Amino acid sequence: MEILLHVQLRTTTTTTLLVMIETMGGGDGLLVVSRVCASLVAILVLTWALFFTTKPLNIYSVLHPLLMVIGLILISGEGILVHRWLDGSRKRKKLVHLWMQGVALGTGIIGIWTKFEPNFYTLHSWLGLLSVSLFGAQWLMGFISFWHRGEVRMSRMRVLPWHVFLGLYTYGLAVITAETGLLEKLTFLQTNGVVLKRSSEAMIVNGLGLWLAMLCGVVILTALTPKIFQQQNSDTKCYTS
């Protein structure tokens, strides 16, 4: 009885997810939502970095959030979804994906350099180093596995699931790192009385963190949507039975 209830619950959840995706226009609707979230994130981080004078007037303090959020998170998110918005051959899509992720990796490295200190003692700094290190390893693995002509097709097929998993995991980890950075910075400013708890800057930082979380979920869902629809035809009988 419990097994049957579990199967029915899983079937209902899957069906609900498919209905939600179809209602939003499939992957195209999710792509629009991800673009809206990304635009709001870009506006909020630009506003916070450029127009609030409560932060120290240091060019590196301004560049760090811009490079890590717009460069690493937003560009890499677009790179993850390149197969959804770019027309053309698979080779062209892989090439654009490779270059966009390379740009994101470069901006992430520069972003860490702008705030590099000899002693890394915070969770934010540790997560940042881990995120960029995994991002670099992921980019190198993707380059070798999918662009080296000596690799056989079967070998690339075995690597693909790990490439997808590590890519989405690293993207989520980068968003978590940004969230800890926002919390760390805002807590420091509020503790020192520079920013009030209900000030405009606090609202912008909290809003930025909220929309980053929304963006992460939408990007991952959009990236996985094609796999869901590939199974839809074969599973339809199970859903309706």
What's the pLDDT tens digit per position in 140-189? Answer: 887 877 666 555 565 667 777 888 899 999 999 999 999 999 999 899 88
Task: Give pLDDT tens digits for 10-61.
Answer: 455 445 444 454 444 455 788 899 999 999 999 999 999 888 855 556 777 8
Q: Which of 21-30, 43-52, 77-86, 111-120 shows the lowest mean pLDDT across its residues? A: 21-30
Per-residue confidence band for 224, with pLDDT thresholds at 50, 70 and 90: confident
- pLDDT value at position 2? 41
Residue 200 tokens read as 């405009």
Alpha helix positions (H), 66-152: 75-80, 82-85, 90-114, 123-147
Q: How far is CA 34 from the centre of its chain?
A: 10
Per-residue confidence band for 108, with pLDDT thresholds at 50, 70 and 90: very high
- pLDDT value at position 30? 87
Gap between the Cα atoms of 187 and 164, Å rounded: 35
Is residue 110 scored above 80 in pLDDT?
yes
Task: Please give the model's pTM, rounded to 2 decimal places.
Answer: 0.79
Look at residues 73, 77, 69 and name the one whose alpha carbon lies nearest to residue 185.
69
The conformation of residue 114, written as its DSSP 8-state character, comes to H
Gap between the Cα atoms of 62 and 50, Å rounded: 7
How high does pLDDT run on average in the chain?
A: 80
CATH of the domain at 37: 1.20.120.1770
How far is residue 56 from each of residues 52, 152, 158, 198, measured CA to CA in Å?
A: 10, 53, 49, 20
Is residue 124 scored above 50 in pLDDT?
yes
- pLDDT value at position 151? 55
Per-residue confidence band for 241, with pLDDT thresholds at 50, 70 and 90: very low
CB distance 124 to 184 below 8 Å: yes
Is residue 100 scored above 60 in pLDDT?
yes
Q: Which residues constitute the domain of residue 7?
A: 2-240
Is residue 120 scored above 90 in pLDDT?
no
- pLDDT value at position 88? 80
Say how many domains are in the chain.
1
